[in-house]
Structure 1
């Protein structure tokens, strides 16, 4: 539960502790602050994009305890005690997550505005379904809009990522010294 801490311009602030990309963060926020704004302005994680403020476009999708949510309509105080994963938490420049690799390999982005939300929705799918069909991918991405690509390469990227993740997981099972890629969003 958030604890009232102080007042700023007559608005009571609340202390919120949330794990973001595996790091515990404690911040004071107005109770009406949206999670997307906390991530972008409060924590400097600008990979979370804001497109519509109405949950229609999915650009602001993050993982909340491994499940994709639209952060533009979720209050920051609702994240108290939970794990939030943003696109910055998927991989590193030297070791991309299979979803990031898939988007690169299959040319699944153009302007890039929808890409972070698409990647996080894709990560959630691949984490819970190791062998998704094209229909599964299209259903999982149904709440994310892309105005550039027509989706075909995005679907191919997610299928590529699932195949890569299966190969990595299979190698890890066969050889315990093989390290599976970082996965903050295991469902």
Structure 2
């Protein structure tokens, strides 16, 4: 059996280290580019609603590039419709690829709510009138309590997350790796009018 020389082993280790460093540098640059693209907000196309700080910018940038037409149609729907006067119901935007749902329901106590995520669709959520708290957590930090239901495109979890107050003028984005707990009361279980746009996720 041939012996592998120490210099050769050192050479292999140095190559591996260089590869890891290069990958880390590329990831950092990619994140910086995504953040710069996000902050420019050209993708809003004149929409006055603003994105929430919790949005995963790198994932959003990738999804927008893969399905630009879907996103442009979703933002155009928000820009060109008076959401205040629209009735509750489902609104077609691009067949089953992009569609909106408007609801008006009492907000819930956090003890009666569940964490959820989806695999096939991205959620764009925003409050039209009233207010609510929305919880956000990476699915990797939670425990699955209901396995994936393909018919509902839904997984439920238990665990802890960060809660934000959602008010009119701001929208949230939830990707498959983002668990969310919407419709939580800020006090008194007051109803709010809510918009959810479902946007098909690109693999």
**TM-score after normalising by structure 2:** 0.26
Pick 1 or 2: higher relative contact order, CA cutoff 8 A, min separation 6: 2
Larger Cα Rg: Structure 1 or Structure 2? 2
